[in-house]
Amino acid sequence: AQSVTQPDIHITVSEGASLELRCNYSYGATPYLFWYVQSPGQGLQLLLKYFSGDTLVQGIKGFEAEFKRSQSSFNLRKPSVHWSDAAEYFCAVGTGFQKLVFGTGTRLLVSP
C-alpha cells in the first residue's frame, strides 16, 4: 500500500537559518508528490508539487523540494526561515485519480 513517512514530528529552526523537512514515500509507480502547509486551526495550502521533469521544483514563499527516485524522497527546503514559516507541513503522494495519501506532518517552530 502507498504510504508517506515524515520522520520528524517537530523541528526547531532559528530565524534566518536553513530548513530541510524530510519526506519518504512508498509507491510502485511514478509518484505525484505534494507539500502542503497548515497554520493552526486552518486549512491546507499547497506549497509545491512534482509531476514529472525537473526533479527540483520551486514553490511559493521561497520553498523548494527535490525528488530523488533512488531514495524515494521528496524533501522540502528553504534557505532562510522567517518567523511566519512556523506551521505544520504535510507531504502527500498522489496514488491515482484525485486520491492523496498524507504523511503525519512535521511541526516547524522558529526561534528568534
Residue whose cell numbers read 509507480: 29
Nearest to 74, CA basis, from 96, 89, 60: 89
The residue (of 15 and 101) whose beta carbon lies closer to other proteins is 101
Residue 11 binding other proteins, by CB under 8 A: no
Q: Of 12, 18, 42, 55, which one interacts with other proteins (CB under 8 A)?
A: 42
3-state secondary structure of 70: helix
Residue 97 binding other proteins, by CB under 8 A: yes
Residue 70 binding other proteins, by CB under 8 A: no
Residue 27 binding other proteins, by CB under 8 A: no
Q: Which region, judged by CB under 8 A, interacts with other proteins, from 11-19, 20-28, 59-67, 91-99? A: 91-99
> All 3 cell numbers of residue 60?
511559493
Three-point CA angle 41, 103, 52, nearest 5°: 115
The residue (of 75 and 101) whose beta carbon lies closer to other proteins is 101
The least distance separating other proteins from the CB of residue 38, rounded to whole angstroms, comes to 8
> What is the signed CA dihedral for 78, 35, 4, 52, rounded to 10 degrees?
-100
